[in-house]
Structure 1
Amino acid sequence: MEPSLQSTAISEPDGGNQSRKPGITGSTLKLIAIITMLIDHAGAVLVERWMQQSADGTGIDGIYALYIGMRSVGRIAFPIFIFLLVEGMEHTRNRWKYLIRLWIFAIVSEIPFDMAFNLEKSQIFSGQLLELGYQNVFFTLAVGLMVCIGIRIVEEKPFKNGIKITLNLLMTIAGMAAAELLRTDYGGIGVLAIVMMYLLRDRRVIAVIACCIILMFSSSLEIVAFLALIPICFYNGERGWKLKWVFYIFYPAHLLILWMIGSLTGLLG
């Protein structure tokens, strides 16, 4: 998931500390998403720079194959994070605290994100730590969650169906526009995928398929995202290990580590 959630986001759904049912717990799903995201980002930050520096063409085919392979694996992560986001919204005691937490970590993660993806080392050492042309995926998740909370509020009101549909459509369009204006990872397509996952949340397989179809409009490589359906189908609805803060901490931390590796190896100019 580069530049492409209770709270399994990026918290696990309620349940005991250990699974009592067969299948995959929320914490296991989260770890799968984290690992595939790490592979993706290592490809985007390190292997892509390695490929760019192989100007003489030596081994370029092998490096390119490695790059495409790592970026393809990374396509699995975002649908899982979206699924966990929706699960988190359904189970959290306070949706607004959940949303605030996402916005806080979106801001906290932006400097590490820009260092890894958007800035040259010379710019960083000259004091520039932000580049507003492309924002991290926490912003996409936060905007998507805002829309879903708005839809939930409308669902609970005694409005006629036509009014509900109109309001939900307007909120979705506004969320997509906000993501595009903020230039977030996955942009408006990402927000639409989140909304679709929420609207179809009672039909898990259809929800994931619809989400992945939408994501394919951002890149043909997103066809690999359909593989996320496998672990999600085995999700047993239980929390598993208490990993509430793992993703929040891991996301900015792994970006800083990748930047350090790239800087020390000379891959990041």
Structure 2
Amino acid sequence: MESLTTSKFKGFTTFDLKIIGIVLMFIDHIHQMFVPMGAPDWLDWFGRPVATLFFFVSVVGFSHTRSKEKYMLRLYIGMLIMTLGSFTLQQIVGYEEVQLMNNIFRDLLVGTLMMYGIDKISEGRSSKTFSKIALGIVIILFPIISSGILMLLMSNPSAIMVAVWGVNVIPALLFTENSFMVLLIPLLYLAKNHRWLQCMLIALTAVFFFFQGSTQWMMIFAVLPIMLFNGEKGRGMKNFFYVFYPLHIWLLYLISAYVFMH
């Protein structure tokens, strides 16, 4: 009886959600890298819930991290390494059939900045400190304002290279992989104490994409594992994702390039 009891499903931990996201992401990136070889479009469907899962996990992680500043710094370093590594790899290999535009670290950093801003506003309201409220508003608006500035620079031929490099080092909402969908992160953070509301926000976003005719509506399937989240951390894998994410993309890119060129 004891073995039966202990073997009962107790829900998903943060670790489990990350593993689910990583597996689905890997399948999606197989599609991305092997499109020139005729990879079927349905492989792309597996990736549609991935960003939503990582957004939810980032909300959980940010809510419980000991140092939110260090959390953001890790994401920023990850964003820079991903950008520099992908650019260098493409220059060396010269495989133009596949473009390495992936950088989920940028999405998560923008979302985390907004969560940090929400915290500052909350602290300011509690202590009745206007400067903290103002700082929080500035932090939340920064990825949006920086997007506008970078877009204006890109429209100026003499400043386009400045804009390109600015995109690489500045967290800007419109230059994330998922664009406005990243706003789900601060929204999920505001609703962090109400799982049903978080899932409702995800569902409403999925409905929007459905009527847009985008397969991104399949993000709705992220709701199931999120509803089954048990609130526990599970096994530690603090740095695994920071290493696995760029390495698996670069490795698949190299394999695709080799297959295509031979």
Could you list the per-position Cα deviations for residues 212-259 of structure 1 after superposition, in whole angstroms to 9, with x for gaps in the alignment? 534655872111001000011111111111111111111011011101
Query: Which has a greater percent of helix?
Result: 2
Which residue in 1 is equivalent to 2:92? 124
Which residue in 2 is equivalent to 1:34? 22
Which residue in 2 is equivalent to 1:254? 248
Q: Offset at 1:100?
A: 0.2
Q: Distance in 2 between matches of 1:164 and 1:93?
A: 20
Q: Offset at 1:168?
A: 6.5
Kept after mapping to 2: 8 A contact 1:50/1:267: no
Tell whether 2:135 aligns with 1:147.
no
Tell whether 2:212 aligns with 1:239.
no
**AA matched with 2:111:** G
Number of aligned residues: 227
Out of 168-177 and 223-232, give the one that drifted further: 168-177
**AA matched with 2:195:** R
3-state DSSP class of the match of 1:239? coil
Which residue in 2 is equivalent to 1:186? 178
Q: Offset at 1:184?
A: 2.1
Q: Distance in 2 between matches of 1:240 and 1:39?
A: 24
Q: Offset at 1:211?
A: 3.6
Q: Distance in 2 between matches of 1:178 and 1:214?
A: 24
Tell me the TM-score normalized by structure 2: 0.74
Could you list the per-position Cα deviations for residues 191-225 of structure 1 after superposition, in whole angstroms to 9, with x for gaps in the alignment? 31111111111122321331453465587211100
Q: Distance in 2 between matches of 1:37 and 1:81?
A: 10
Q: Distance in 2 between matches of 1:100 and 1:259?
A: 27
Q: Offset at 1:72?
A: 1.2
Tell whether 2:43 aligns with 1:49.
no
Kept after mapping to 2: 8 A contact 1:148/1:198: yes
Task: Decide which structure has the larger Cα Rg and report it.
Answer: 2
Tell me the TM-score normalized by structure 1: 0.72
Out of 106-115 and 82-91, give the one that drifted further: 106-115
Could you list the per-position Cα deviations for residues 147-184 of structure 1 after superposition, in whole angstroms to 9, with x for gaps in the alignment? 11011111121378xx9999877654432344574322
Quick one: structure 1 residues 37 and 115, their matched pair in 2 at CA, closer, same or farther if it must change by over 3 Å? farther
Kept after mapping to 2: 8 A contact 1:209/1:226: no
Q: Distance in 2 between matches of 1:267 and 1:200?
A: 49
Which residue in 1 is equivalent to 2:215? 221
Could you list the per-position Cα deviations for residues 9-43 of structure 1 after superposition, in whole angstroms to 9, with x for gaps in the alignment? xxxxxxxxxx9981111101100001111111111
Quick one: structure 1 residues 209 and 158, their matched pair in 2 at CA, closer, same or farther if it must change by over 3 Å? closer
Structure 2, unaligned stretches of length 5 or more? Answer: 1-6, 151-166, 168-174
| Correspondence list, 1:83-122, <5 A | 83-114=56-87, 119=90
Tell whether 2:16 aligns with 1:25.
no
Which residue in 2 is equivalent to 1:198? 189
Tell whether 2:129 aligns with 1:138.
no
3-state DSSP class of the match of 1:44? helix
**AA matched with 2:241:** F
Q: Distance in 2 between matches of 1:267 and 1:229?
A: 41
Quick one: structure 1 residues 140 and 179, their matched pair in 2 at CA, closer, same or farther if it must change by over 3 Å? farther
Q: Offset at 1:111?
A: 3.8
Higher relative contact order (CA 8 A, sep 6+): 1
Q: Distance in 2 between matches of 1:242 and 1:88?
A: 12
3-state DSSP class of the match of 2:125? coil
Tell whether 2:142 aligns with 1:174.
yes
Q: Distance in 1 between matches of 2:137 and 2:120?
A: 14
**AA matched with 2:184:** A
Q: Distance in 2 between matches of 1:146 and 1:73?
A: 28
Quick one: structure 1 residues 88 and 214, their matched pair in 2 at CA, closer, same or farther if it must change by over 3 Å? same
Quick one: structure 1 residues 176 and 113, their matched pair in 2 at CA, closer, same or farther if it must change by over 3 Å? farther
Q: Distance in 1 between matches of 2:103 and 2:62?
A: 20
Q: Distance in 1 between matches of 2:146 and 2:59?
A: 20
